[in-house]
């Protein structure tokens, strides 16, 4: 068995096993070996926290939605068409 990659548990993986894994998941053998050698598989890039565009208006929008939901419901376009007289 030729040594290609190892884990912390001392498990060795042969090149034919890496080739089989790569074929099964349709990735390059180099990519499979890289992930087998990696110590952790965390995200490579973390997006910085940014303020949401709507945040300054969130309270006002919530109040507007509360007022709108408490108002009498209006007829939908479908209900209006049912009550109309056909020409």
Instruction: Summarize pLDDT for 15-56 with one digit per residue, the tens.
Output: 899 999 999 999 999 999 888 888 777 777 788 888 888 888
pLDDT band at 83 (very low <50, low <70, confident <90, very high): low
pLDDT at 86: 62
**Over the stretch 52-78, which tens digit does the pLDDT of each residue have?**
888 889 999 999 888 877 766 667 777
H/E stretch holding 68 reads: helix 58-70
The CA-atom distances, in angstroms, between 64 and each of 1, 57, 60, 70 are: 69, 11, 6, 10
Do the Cβ atoms of 14 and 1 come closer than 8 Å?
yes
Write down the pLDDT at residue 84: 64
pLDDT at 2 over 50: no
**DSSP strand E in the chain: where?**
5-6, 12-13
More confident: 77 or 9: 77
Stretch (H or E) spanning 33? helix 29-37
């Amino acid at each position: 068995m030729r040594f290609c990659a190892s884990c912390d548990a001392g498990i060795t993986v042969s090149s034919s096993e890496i080739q089989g894994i790569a074929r099964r998941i349709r990735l390059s053998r180099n990519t499979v070996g890289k992930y087998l050698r990696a110590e952790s598989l965390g995200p490579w890039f973390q997006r910085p926290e940014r303020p949401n565009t709507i945040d300054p208006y969130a309270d006002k929008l919530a109040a507007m939605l509360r007022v709108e939901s408490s108002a009498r419901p209006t007829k939908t376009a479908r209900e209006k068409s049912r009550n109309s007289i056909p020409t």
